[in-house]
Amino acid sequence: MITLLSGLPSPTQATSSLLSQELSVLDQFFPGWVLAIFENEGWETPRFLSRKAAEFWGMPEEELARKTCHDMEAMIHPDDLEGYLLCKRRMIELQKKLRPTEALHYRFAIQFRLRSQRHQPYRHVYGEVLTYLDSHNRTAQAMMYRDASADRVSDRVQLSWFRTQGLGYQKVGSYIPAAADQELTLREEEIMHLIKDGFSSKEIADRLSISLNTVKNHRKNLLRKTQSRNMADLVYTVARGA
């Protein structure tokens, strides 16, 4: 479990040494990453802790300190911005379902393209959001960024979430706006609600006078379009939207 120091007062002679030690520890444990903590609710004002933050964002530390999350989002590739915002909304929806103690066991990863300056090319960026305990033992959130341009990544914006298992994390879900936001057909909606009501594939085929293979194909499409992992997850999605 990660516990980070946050809510530090403005650096003074007494706190500057502690802040310097904090940055050294962060850079040691997260080499190549830029870490930001969110001190206010609503994801409005990030505070960057890594020494590499100014270099990563391509601006002086003084300018970086004045940036809001909206300023950062303005640097995202225009083709990725809508998908990024959809992923962010989906992540917040998922987080709201977690109890504070559960949230500590999850992390969320968003992949998108970004550039810090107009004359620079866009980079693939991999960002991870995690929940941690601050110095007052309250839950807070941080986001870790790294340049993923050298990795073999997809151009599609996507969100993945992971849960602790043993000493590591296991992927438990994903969301790709381009696929997940496709509208369901009337037939798919009909089959989806029959699944919710407990009908088997055979019963659905008989009820709708269609083949069993057709029902199975519809079920596959429903899983893909709703980004559900299995039928239980799909039923939960239907019940939530009912």
Domain end residue (candidates: 160, 178, 196): 178
pLDDT for 21:
57
Report if pTM > 0.75. Answer: no
CATH code for position 218: 1.10.10.10
3-state secondary structure of 39: coil
Q: What is the DSSP letter of 146?
A: E
Number of domains in the chain: 2
Choosing from 178, 195, 220, the residue where a domain stops is: 178
pLDDT recorded at residue 110: 94
- Per-residue pLDDT of the chain in tens (242 residues, 90 and over written 9): 344 433 434 444 444 454 455 555 666 777 788 888 886 555 677 888 777 888 888 888 888 888 888 888 899 998 889 889 989 999 999 999 998 889 999 999 999 999 887 788 899 999 999 888 877 888 888 888 999 988 756 667 889 999 998 888 898 888 888 655 566 778 888 898 898 889 999 999 999 989 999 999 899 888 877 767 788 877 776 665 54
Same domain, 30 and 147: yes
- pLDDT for residue 106: 94
| DSSP β-ladder status, 123-133 and 106-114 | antiparallel
Q: Degrees (nearest 5) of the Cα angle 48, 50, 54?
A: 70
The pLDDT, as a whole number, for residue 8 is 39
Question: Looking at the structure, do residues 34 and 102 belong to the same domain, yes or no?
Answer: yes
Nearest to 23 by CA among 14, 36, 13: 36
Are residue 190 and residue 170 in the same domain, yes or no?
A: no
Per the structure, the complete domain to which residue 97 belongs is given by 13-178
Token duo for residue 61: 């530390």
